[in-house]
Amino acid sequence: MKKIHKKIFIRNDNNKLFLYGYNLHTENPGDELPLSDISRPHMRWNPSREEWVTYSSRRKDRTFFPPKEYCPLCPGANLNYPTEIPFSNFEVAVFPNRWASFNSHADNVTIENIYTKPSKGECEVVVYSSEHLSTLADMSEERVELLIGVWVDRYKELLKINDVKYILPFENRGVECGVTLHHPHGQIYAYPFIPPVIKKEIEAFKKENFIMKIIKSSEEKYYVNKNEHFIALVPPFARYAYEVWIVPRRQIPGPWKFNNNEINSFAKIIQKVVNGYDKFLEKKCPYIMGLHASPKLEDDTFHFHVEFYPPLRHGDKPKVLAGSESMAGVFIMDVLPEDSAKILRKFMQ
């Protein structure tokens, strides 16, 4: 893998904008966005579900379906208005979310009979490219490798923060998944606790490596794409009709353990999956993608994997989380995972 350069630019609000690239970024900045009020989120404990809920009232003010001529994630120096990135070009950019659900400015709120905490942590935006329409499916393989390198760097840096207990890079794609800005981007949440889903995964992996079990027992039945280092498959216990997981063939806690060959193979198979979804629907497929890694850099039980959830039931019909899913957390499926795998395999090869 080529060497990755990182430039740190201090914004007018004293937060850091990171510019990553194969080329060293030397450009001077243009105009910046005006200063805005700082988000001061807090958390409340839900005793019925035994989980934290975070509250950030400023999120209602976030940029929401801006006019087509205005994109806050495009290079601002090329436009007649400032954006989040005050330069004329960049490869990958990372900066703090202005409407964060977790940040270092979190306040504690006292509410009678309710257990509360400051919502410490970080929320970052990862802009994949300066190109307004360059999605993971459209980017070069080399650019996807750069993005993987950015994820690795953010894992290592954010885990150094005392308040941070878990890192989740993710991407929401499509209006069906709540996306309001269409410039290709993802996010990274650095939580002050281990999220409930990950906590269950940690406990499950301590009992057995169920991913390795799937690979060994049902690779041919459920796979949609595979290479020397990774398998993309429909999990036999999928909760979404066209859910896909990308799993390494060897047990590793996170992408920071990839060697160069694995980085290349990972980039290839991510693109195969996203391209396959788009070919299957004959349009840009909506999905939620998340990287599930260990909360620790060294871990000999957790098996890193990537999960894709397209909110689809049949074809492009939406999967709505109805009574059983929303109220009881029990998913009801009408499409068998082995049938989904057969269908998607045709498009993801």
Residues whose CB falls within 8 Å of the CB of residue 250, separated by 6 or more in sequence, listed in order: 229
49 closest CA partner among 190, 189, 164, 199: 199
Domain 5-193 matches domain 198-348 at the CATH topology level: yes
Residue 243: predicted pLDDT: 96
Mean pLDDT of the chain: 91
Spell out the long-range contacts of 26-32 with Cβ–Cβ below 8 A and sequence spacing 24 or more: 27/77, 27/87, 27/88, 27/89, 29/77, 29/86, 29/87, 30/76, 30/77, 30/82, 30/86, 30/87, 30/88, 31/76, 31/77, 31/82, 31/86, 32/76, 32/82, 32/86
Three-class HEC string of 61-110? HCCCCCCCCCCCCCEHHHCCCCCCECCCCCCEEEEECCCCCCCCCCCCCC
Q: Check if the beta carbon of residue 259 is closer than 8 Å to that of residue 278.
A: no
pLDDT tens across 183-213, in order?
899 999 999 999 999 999 999 999 999 999 9
Average pLDDT over residues 1-26: 95
Most confidently modeled range among 100-114, 165-179, 279-293 = 279-293
List the catalytic residues. 185
Work out whether strand 185-191 and strand 51-55 pair parallel, antiparallel, or are unpaired.
Answer: unpaired
pLDDT tens across 281-340, in order?
998 899 999 999 999 999 999 999 999 999 887 767 778 778 888 888 888 888 899 999
Top pLDDT among 225 and 330 is at 225
**Residue-range domain boundaries for the chain:** 5-193, 198-348
Residue 238: predicted pLDDT: 94
Residue 192: predicted pLDDT: 96
Of the chain, the percentage scoring pLDDT greater than 70 comes to: 95
* CATH architecture of structural domain 5-193: 2-Layer Sandwich (3.30)
The hierarchical CATH code for the domain 198-348 is 3.30.428.10
